[in-house]
Amino acid sequence: MSVTSLLKVLGGWPIRGLHCRGSHSSVAKADQTLAFVPASPPLDPAEVQKLQEFVSRARRLFVLTGAGISTESGIPDYRSEGVGLYSRTDRRPVQHAEFLRSSRARQKYWARNFVGWPQFSAHQPNVAHLALRNWEILGKLHWLVTQNVDALHAKAGSQRLTELHGCIHRVLCLSCGDRTPRTDLQERFEALNPTWRAEAHGVAPDGDVFLSEEEVRTFLVPPCGKCGGNLKPDVTFFGDSVSKEKVDFVYQRLGEADSVLVAGSSLQVYSAYKFALAARDGKLPMAVVNIGPTRADSFVTLKLNSRCGELLPLIVLK
């Protein structure tokens, strides 16, 4: 069946149809899941066919994903028009230098993360994550690099994967470098704060919520269980940089690829944008699936202003 025929069968809105199948509660859940997805135009079958042809020609596809692939799992992003954190509030994420310097900043971050963790850790991969995993299984996807720290690609089963900015499901000791599961720290938080209560005032993109200053003031943060050092999520905060070893590794995987697909990223963060620039300089064909403009729009082979979860599952591998 061609892409055009498949769109006609599915009414041009395949993924929403999958979410909405079943009870009224399923419909409500779908609406909630898409709450952080910006508006996008209906799929154009001709444009979908272009992406089909692009992927079909690729033999070693390098894929770079951003927050726009996880918004359909109910995780907000920072920059999306109307629904991203920067549009909804004047709050900003913690800065790396501030976290290292200030015990108050660490207390505030961990209190917010503690409250938000049960919901954030429960998020599941959507059909876009699963589609990319299937591309890997079928030998189409050479390597996947994600800017996201939500572990959804790993949950989907992707193995040829680099988490460029780390993973919030791990915790790092800033003194001894010990890494532990975030779930273990949640238990330590609960034991140390048995009577502490707080009310969340909105959700943020990276696993935390907004709390009042008064609520944060009495929250206790445990030290590293090995050396007593300060704990940090194993992610690259704003103002920090990705390790040279990881960057070099990604460049090597990009050098082995023959095509590039950017999915769900505006490429505003330079740690990801530089790989798009390297692909351009290497004259690799490049496609972008993202709602809204990106920094690479002027030099990509193909740009589709669509939801990743609406489009990627339509691509048929041959």
Residues 25 and 48 in one domain: yes
Whether residues 142 and 190 share a domain: the answer is no
Distance CA 65, CA 196 (A): 37
* pLDDT at position 67: 93
pLDDT score of 136: 98
Output the pLDDT for position 206.
66
For 307, what's the count of Cα atoms within 13 Å in the CB-facing half-sphere?
A: 24
Tens digit of each residue's pLDDT (9 = 90 or more) over 217-226: 999 999 999 9
Domain count, the chain: 2
Most confident of 9-18, 146-155, 203-212: 146-155
Q: What is the DSSP track for 222-270?
A: ---TTT---EEEEE--BT----HHHHHHHHHHHHH-SEEEEES----SH
Same domain? For 48 and 197 the reply is no
Provide the residue range defining the domain that includes 187.
85-122+169-235
pLDDT (average), residues 187-212: 81
Q: What is the pLDDT of residue 199?
A: 76
Which residue did the predictor score with more confidence, 201 or 161? Answer: 161
Mean pLDDT of the chain: 85
CATH number of the CATH domain containing 113: 3.30.1600
Per-residue pLDDT tens over the stretch 211-250: 888 889 999 999 999 999 999 999 999 889 999 999 999 9
Check residue 198 and give its pLDDT: 84
**Bind-site residues:** 66-86, 147-150, 173, 176, 224, 227, 264-266, 290-292, 308
Q: Is the pLDDT of residue 19 over 80?
A: no
pLDDT at 137: 97
> Which residue did the predictor score with more confidence, 202 or 180?
180
Binding-site entries for Zn(2+): 173, 176, 224, 227
**297: CATH:** 3.40.50.1220
Residue 303: which pLDDT band, with cuts at 50, 70 and 90? very high
Token couple for 80? 């999306």
pLDDT above 80 for 36: no
**pLDDT score, position 4:** 36
Has 201 been annotated as catalytic?
no
Q: Both 141 and 217 in a single domain?
A: no
Q: 31 and 19 share a domain?
A: yes
- According to the model, what pLDDT value does residue 213 have? 85
Helices (H), 42-126: 45-57, 85-88, 96-101, 103-122
pLDDT digits (tens, 9 = 90+) for 142-161: 999 999 999 999 999 999 99
Provide mean pLDDT across the span 256-268. 97
pLDDT, mean of residues 202-210: 66
Nearest-angstrom CA–CA distance, 292 and 39: 9
Task: Provide the pLDDT for residue 22.
Answer: 32
Phi, psi of 306 (to 5 degrees): -140, 165
Q: Please indicate, yes or no, whether residues 187 and 46 belong to a single structural domain of this protein.
A: no
Q: How far is 60 from 279, CA to CA, in rounded Å?
A: 13
Catalytic pick from 153, 165, 169, 201?
165
Average pLDDT over residues 79-97: 57
**Is residue 80 situated within a structural domain?**
no
C-alpha–C-alpha distance, residues 150 and 161, integer Å: 13
Looking at the chain, the whole-number percentage of residues with pLDDT higher than 90 is 72
pLDDT average, residue stretch 13-42: 47
* In-domain check, residue 133: yes
pLDDT of 93 above 90: no
pLDDT at 286 over 80: yes
In the predicted model, is pLDDT for residue 21 greater than 60?
no
